[in-house]
Structure 1
């Protein structure tokens, strides 16, 4: 799922330039607000465990252990791979690269032919996917802690798109305009009398699939619905203080540090998921490009430091006996969809269910608050509008 977050970084060169001082102010507030929210959320979860002990239907620890037992048992009882199995696995691993390499080869003449700028989808899509496969398979796993696949893919893709545009005599901003034309599924499906605008670009396809992917994060909710029902009050108790601090404190501090009003208010939406964050910025008048970048960077950093940070704060992280509520709440409130998808990928399914509910409720509450005119005006005043 991380592949579909790369468009936010690929489109960075398209946004308006920002002064070095403004970038420095954003960086200066980014890390303290991140750490304060992480530590504060873990602290609230630990206080709830003391004053409001977890009560749920059934033995949750036993159910957690089942996940770990199933994984261990699968490894213990698996048969040695035969030569046929090795061949099959090798062929499967080559399937995606071969398919997208063929699309890439087809996309070259399609893009470089006269008028091919409007037919950039095959070339750009295959370029991004091949870059993703390269970052996942070639970069060593230990290096991916720093060279995160989203960042590596974005860097390779921007360089490749820049080269393609230069060959056609196009500036980077112009060629990125064909990478993402704004023709997402929402635009295409709303046209009752047919669509006459530009065809969708790679970024539009990625954005559309990302929305569907975020919905797929809800799959663990059904399996752990009893946990979520029993923990609902605890979830709300953790979310409310985070919403209040995000909405009022971070824009206020950003304004006092000297940021522009649109950048200050953008910090209020940095912990939301991308769709919620975009709607929040539309309602408040912030910087849409900046909020997407902040959301993605926040999610990536959270994934990179997740286990180490939880261990420092004495939170159990071993799969099967993990403190799923604290992990899920902290990840959902801070890293949203990027963090939740990483939890699923690392077999933290119970924590992922909690994380999904938390980032959805977090986004709904913030959007509901800024829908109140008096609150919205007060936040604008804090941000310096």
Structure 2
């Protein structure tokens, strides 16, 4: 997957195309699987998907932790005044309106064929690869009323004497048999299996990270394992806490504090430690021949590219839903992307945010891989663009489901939920939907890709980019 992504990236560099190779590979992989199904047949395509799911399934399972470097590196961003911070927070309020427009467009589209978009009996619903059509359950032939026969009466059959007369057998008064506890070895096996990842990364931190760091000064092993351990700790929080304390935020906060303390032990300040965390030597630069050793953030960004490509798997799995609701995805994304491109910079600049930071808000709903080139095309502040893009994802994950519930969106309306969260909160919301509703995650992946591609395309056209810049006085 990364080799293909590297090849696409090289082609883009040769053609001077400003577009993330990972998102391009997502679209290419999805179209390639659709073509393979037509040419090779569904059975052979399943075997091909099974091979891709080995790395793809792993990267999708841990996609959330790959977002932490963007928050870990926030202390390196230029300082922002308190008043301007509150103004930037206030700009996030229109996101609810964007979600409402998505919701209404999706519901109108769902009623065009006379079918309720929340109907669970949709014949076009996608199925997991390898699954078969479920057989209808037979009607029960027994009564659903509770039985009137006591267990004591059914404990033993009646005895029959020599005359053929049946006499009831009284149940024996036996003490209840206590269940034997499992052996100690089995209990330890269950505990170790449940915490195998934590134990593995803990010993890598102790046996690899610490010796390498204090003997050579190379920080990647100790920072990488420490970041993963903090993420496991954040996942251990009670579910009610995680509704407000997102694991990515909690993990990033404790990662900054932890690697800061580790750096102080050998005389390195926070700025130096964070610059070691991500040096820009991801897989593409390493394969280009750079001799710089990667940092922990570079390892995460490399795995994040693989995760974005792997989003093509749930899109293919629920390809029937994508085809059925294609208009509900395309039309709202085009309208909202154009509106966001012109509205957000104008609103931000009108309330007193600087011109460069106002331009960065044009890409606030994009995934980070798309927000960076879109912001660069407009001449906006890259640090602000990265921060607001990540914060849009966090806000969508934390409050998006509540807003949809307040607007009375049914939980099984996967079209509205997938399109709304994907277009407004990009990859972080898609990562959440992968665990809660895979069908919505498939639509979210397509909405995220389409919304970002439209925005990057429009910002790459000089007349449109100049028109947006003129809104902030540039």
The match for 2:428 among 332, 338, 348 is 338
Offset, 1:171: 1.9
Higher helix share: 1
- TM-score normalised according to structure 2 size: 0.71
Offset, 1:288: 2.1
CA distance in 2, matches of 1:254, 1:350: 35
List aligned pairs for 1:298-309, cutoff 5 A: 298-309=392-403
Residues 52 and 370 of structure 1, relative CA distance in 2, 3 Å threshold: farther
Give the secondary structure class of the aligned counterpart of 1:200: coil
**Deviation by residue 1:228-275 (Cα, 9 ceiling, x = unmatched):** 123222211111111111100011111111111111011110101110
2:154 counterpart of 1:92: no
1:329 aligns with 419
CA distance in 1, matches of 2:279, 2:127: 47
Give the secondary structure class of the aligned counterpart of 1:314: coil
CA distance in 2, matches of 1:250, 1:167: 44
CA distance in 1, matches of 2:414, 2:83: 40
1:101 aligns with 202
1:24 aligns with 86
Residue pair 2:101, 2:332 contacting (<8 A) in 1 also: no
Residues 182 and 331 of structure 1, relative CA distance in 2, 3 Å threshold: same
1:47 aligns with 108
Offset, 1:95: 1.4
CA distance in 2, matches of 1:340, 1:97: 25
2:202 counterpart of 1:141: no
| Runs of 5+ unmatched residues, structure 2 | 1-62, 138-180
- Please report the RMSD computed on the Cα atoms of aligned residues, expressed in angstroms: 2.6
List aligned pairs for 1:156-175, cutoff 5 A: 156-175=254-273
Offset, 1:64: 5.6
Give the secondary structure class of the aligned counterpart of 2:239: coil
| Runs of 5+ unmatched residues, structure 1 | 74-80
Residue pair 1:260, 1:384 contacting (<8 A) in 2 also: no
Residue pair 1:55, 1:230 contacting (<8 A) in 2 also: no
Offset, 1:53: 5.3
CA distance in 1, matches of 2:73, 2:425: 21
Give the secondary structure class of the aligned counterpart of 2:268: coil
Offset, 1:43: 2.4
CA distance in 2, matches of 1:39, 1:6: 29
List aligned pairs for 1:181-200, cutoff 5 A: 181-189=279-287, 191=288, 194-196=289-291, 198-200=292-294
Q: Which has the larger radius of gyration?
A: 2
Residue pair 2:126, 2:320 contacting (<8 A) in 1 also: no
Residue pair 1:271, 1:334 contacting (<8 A) in 2 also: yes
2:221 counterpart of 1:126: no
CA distance in 2, matches of 1:228, 1:255: 37
- TM-score normalised according to structure 1 size: 0.87
**Deviation by residue 1:86-129 (Cα, 9 ceiling, x = unmatched):** 6544222221112111121131232123x51xx10110001100
> What is the count of residue pairs matched by the alignment?
360
Name whichever of 4-13 and 102-111 sits farther off: 102-111
2:322 counterpart of 1:228: yes
Give the secondary structure class of the aligned counterpart of 2:399: helix
CA distance in 1, matches of 2:405, 2:361: 27
1:377 aligns with 466
Give the secondary structure class of the aligned counterpart of 2:365: coil
